[in-house]
Chains A and B, each alone.
Chain A
C-alpha cells in the first residue's frame, strides 16, 4: 500500500525559506498529482499546490509568489519550498496524492512547522 511521509525542519526563522520533503513508498510517483496542504493550529485546511509526476505544477493564487513544488521521480520524492515565511505560515503541512478526479485519496501524517525566531 502506498504511504506518504513528510519530513523537514520543525522550526524556521521569519523571512527564511521553509523546505519540506514528501517521500512516497509502496508505489510509483508516476501518473499521479502530488499535493501540499497545510492547516494552521485550530484552523481549517488550505491547499498550497500540486505537481504532476512529469513536473507540471500549479499553485494557490494566494501563495503563488512564494511557493515552489518540485518532483524527484527516481527518488520518489516531492518537495515544497515556501519563501519569506512569517508566523502566519505556522501550520501542520500535509502531502497528499490525487488523480484526475482531484480526490486526495492518500495523505501523509503531516509535519508541524513553527515559524519563530
Chain B
C-alpha cells in the first residue's frame, strides 16, 4: 500500500495562493469523499485543516479550502501568510477500512 502522492515542496510569496495536490487511486481518493488535510509545524503534532474533502473545522481560517477531482484531491491556501509555512499531509480512507497518508509537502513562504 503506497503512500498517496504529493509534491515534495511548494512555495509562494505572501498574499499569493498555492495548491497542493494529493493523488491516489480508485480504491481511496477516487471513490470516497473522506479526504482530510493536516498542517504540521516542526516539532509539533499535526493539526486538522480540512475533512471530508472540503469541510473546515471550527477555528480554521477560510483561507484554506479543499476540493477533489477524480483520483486527485487538492488543498488551496489563499492569501499566503508567513505562519502558513509548514508541512502538509493529505489522508484518505481506503477500501477495507484503513487510512493512508500522503508523503507530505513542505510549504515555503518566500
Contact = CB atoms under 8 A, between A and B. Distances in A.
Contact of A61 (B40, B57, B98): B98
A104 B102 contact: no
B1 A44 contact: no
Interface in B78-96: 87, 89, 91, 93
Interface string A18-49: 00000000000000000101000000111101
Q: Determine the main DSSP class of B at the interface with A.
A: strand
A49 B1 CA distance: 14
B103 A47 contact: no
Contacts of A46: 101
Nearest to A60: B98
**Chain A: interface secondary structure?**
strand
Contacts of B101: 37, 44-47
Interface stretch (B10-18, B46-54, B68-76): B46-54
Contacts of B47: 107
Interface residues of B, number: 25
Given A44-B104, A62-B1, A102 B99 contact: yes
B91 A104 contact: yes
Given A94-B46, A102-B91, 9 more contacts: A44-B102, A47-B100, A49-B98, A58-B97, A61-B98, A94-B45, A101-B34, A101-B52, A105-B48
Interface of A: 35, 37, 44-47, 49-50, 58-62, 94, 96, 101-105, 107-110
21 contacts: A35-B99, A44-B102, A44-B103, A45-B38, A45-B89, A45-B101, A46-B101, A47-B100, A47-B101, A49-B98, A58-B97, A59-B98, A60-B98, A61-B1, A94-B45, A94-B46, A102-B36, A102-B93, A103-B57, A104-B48, A107-B45
